[in-house]
Amino acid sequence: MKIGVIGAGSIGTAFAKHAADAGYELVISNSRGADTLEEKAKQIGGKVTAGSVLDAAESDVVFLSVRWEQVADAIKNISLEDKIIIDATNWDGEEFVLAKPGSKTSSEVIGDFAKSTKVVKAFNTLYAQVLAADPQKDGGKRVIFYSGNDSNAKAQVSGIINRIGFAGVDLGSLHEGGKLQRFPGGSLPALNLIKL
């Protein structure tokens, strides 16, 4: 499995380091171009290369970790059809999920932006320095919450979570799980839990 990372900031880099250590092949990308990430790719090590956003989008799984206001621009010119998107973004403004029918979580909105994709919300509830730390602690594994509407996509993301050393906890659908994961506003962000 090849993983593309769109957005090589602190969250994207922390994920890429764990995934590289677990033996995954990765392409890291940002809006400024591959040449700005070549040194970072070397520092991460393993089977990591710097590439364009288009290169990252050609991977089997795409890890999206850009600022919310950059999401639409980051994915508007790439094809993500039949891809799994791991959505690690956080909406930092007024809540999407309101007390009215038809409201959506930010991950559901990303699913609308990127048609024919399978979105799994994950890796968005821990601060970057916690995510970057060793996932195995005190005889247990640090918890990563995830949610999604496609059971196969969730199973594949769960496999990634567990292979890189974390303990995955399935929260259900993007709508219900996403409400718990939203940062700010959800009940789970910033909780640093260890599964024994």
For residue 100, pLDDT over 60 is answered with: no
CA 171 to chain centre: 15
- φ, ψ dihedrals at 92, nearest 5°: -110, 25
Tell me how far apart the alpha carbons of residues 149 and 154 are, in angstroms, rounded to a whole number.
8
| pLDDT score, position 101 | 52
For residue 99, pLDDT over 50 is answered with: no
Write down all domains in the chain, each with its CATH number in brackets. 2-195 (3.40.50.720)
Q: At residue 49, what is the residue type?
A: T
Read off the pTM: 0.93
**Average pLDDT, integer, range 164-193:** 92
Tell me how far apart the alpha carbons of residues 88 and 66 are, in angstroms, rounded to a whole number.
8
Q: What angle do CA 55, 83, 27 make, to 5 degrees?
A: 30
| pLDDT score, position 96 | 52
Which pLDDT tens digit goes with each residue over 143-162?
999 999 999 999 999 999 99
**Average pLDDT, integer, range 114-126:** 90
The DSSP secondary structure of 49-73, one letter per residue, reads EE--HHHHHTSSEEEE-S-GGGHHH
